[in-house]
DNA sequence: TAAACTGGTATACTCCAGTATACTGGTAAC
DNA sequence: GTTACCAGTATACTGGAGTATACCAGTTTA
């Protein structure tokens, strides 16, 4: 049986669309690494602005990648919990980390 | 030994940067599927324009992801050959295809 | 009591990735 | 002789992703 290139391309493009911008994957990664609070996530991703993180988390909440939990202690405590669905990105992210690592090695080697 | 989150993030961001825009991954995928000629690649990726494909292939040539071969028959024949390095993306792409497929299933299921 | 933390929002701006469209010069098929 | 293929280039335009910066109200630390 022949592989359906069109179907594969669709699946691929769905994933790329879902990943979207510059910050989605790093945010997922941060959550999967155990970071939960807003400033904690922010600090774990150098370069991201509050605005972008805020947008990203809202978007991810709508897409059921993250659950926003508010605890009414004083001061109020907010935690972002990655959903099981969020964690299904794990393999892709791991492959990306591996590739990036090898790439860096290769670049250093060349110099 | 503790995992180095900063190092992992760097590797991840390197990969994301390398992937760059909307078309890099689909083009790599097309090449890895055996498409070689300009119009052939173009047709295999619905929605891409000649301009974007041209830019992408040039960029990929500079980054040693693709080799441009010109055969001086008449009419001139041009072929784009993916380098071994290009093929190292295979795992990431496969994981992306898998994820996209599962995602689609999940979405259809919900309706 | 001033500084620094929390979890964000508001406004303004910029730049370039991606789109749209037309065109070229040569070859080959109908 | 006109339509269609090949492998692209040229020009013009735009939307929105991402940046920069300031601000808020409350709390805790020095």
Q: For residue A33, count other CB atoms closer than 10 A to its CB.
A: 14
Q: Does the pLDDT of residue A72 top 70, yes or no?
A: yes
The mean pLDDT of A59-84, rounded to a whole number, is: 94
d(CA A74, nearest CA chain B) in Å: 31
The pLDDT of residue A107: 85
Mean pLDDT (whole number) for B67-92: 94
* Cβ–Cβ below 8 Å for B99 and A93: no
Report how far apart the first and last C-alpha atoms of chain B are (Å, whole number): 46
pLDDT bucket at A2, cuts 50 / 70 / 90: low
Question: Domains of chain B, with CATH numbers?
Answer: 5-110 (1.10.10.10)
DSSP for residue B59: H
Pair of tokens at residue B55: 């830019």
A69–B contact, CB cutoff 8 A = no
List, as one string, the DSSP characters of A49-93. Answer: -HHHHHHHHHHHHHTTSEEEEEE-SSS-EEEEEE-HHHHTTHHHH
Q: Is A101 on the interface with B (CB under 8 A)?
A: yes
Measured CA angle at A51 (ends A48, A53), to 5 deg? 55
- Residues sharing a CB contact under 8 Å with residue A78, sequence separation 6 or more, in sequence order: A37, A38, A68, A69, A70, A71
CB contact under 8 A, B104 and A22: no
pLDDT at B44: 97
pLDDT digits (tens, 9 = 90+) for B8-54: 999 999 999 999 999 999 999 999 999 999 999 999 999 999 999 99
Cβ atoms of residues A65 and A32 within 8 Å: no
- Establish whether the linkage from the previous residue to A36 is cis, with ω within 30° of 0: no
pLDDT, residue A75, reads 84
Q: Contacts from B49-57 at CB under 8 Å and sequence distance 24+?
A: B52/B23, B53/B23, B53/B27, B56/B21, B56/B23, B56/B24, B56/B27, B57/B27
Q: Which residue of B has its CA nearest to A10?
A: B100
Please, which pLDDT band fits residue A67 given cuts at 50, 70 and 90?
very high
HSE of B67, CA atoms in CB hemisphere, 13 A: 8
Shortest Cα distance, chain B CAs vs residue A47, angstroms: 11
In angstroms, rounded to a whole number, what is the distance separating the alpha carbons of residues A12 and B52? 18
Query: Are B100 and A45 within 8 A, CB to CB?
Result: no
pLDDT of residue B111: 74
> CB contact, 8 Å: B105 with chain A?
no
pLDDT above 90 for B110 = no
Q: What would the mean pLDDT of A99-108 be, rounded to a whole number?
A: 93
pLDDT digits (tens, 9 = 90+) for A5-55: 999 999 999 999 999 999 999 999 999 999 999 999 999 999 999 999 999
């Amino acid at each position: 049986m022949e592989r359906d290139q069109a179907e594969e391309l669709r699946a691929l493009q769905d994933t790329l669309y879902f990943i979207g911008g510059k910050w989605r994957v790093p945010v997922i990664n941060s959550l999967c690494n155990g970071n939960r609070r807003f400033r904690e996530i922010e600090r774990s991703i150098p370069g991201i602005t509050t605005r972008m993180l805020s947008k990203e988390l809202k978007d991810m909440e709508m897409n059921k990648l993250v659950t926003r939990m508010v605890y009414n202690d004083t001061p109020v405590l907010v935690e972002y919990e990655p959903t099981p669905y969020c964690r299904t990105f794990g393999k892709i992210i791991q492959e990306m980390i591996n590739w990036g690592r090898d790439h860096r090695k290769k670049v250093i080697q060349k110099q």
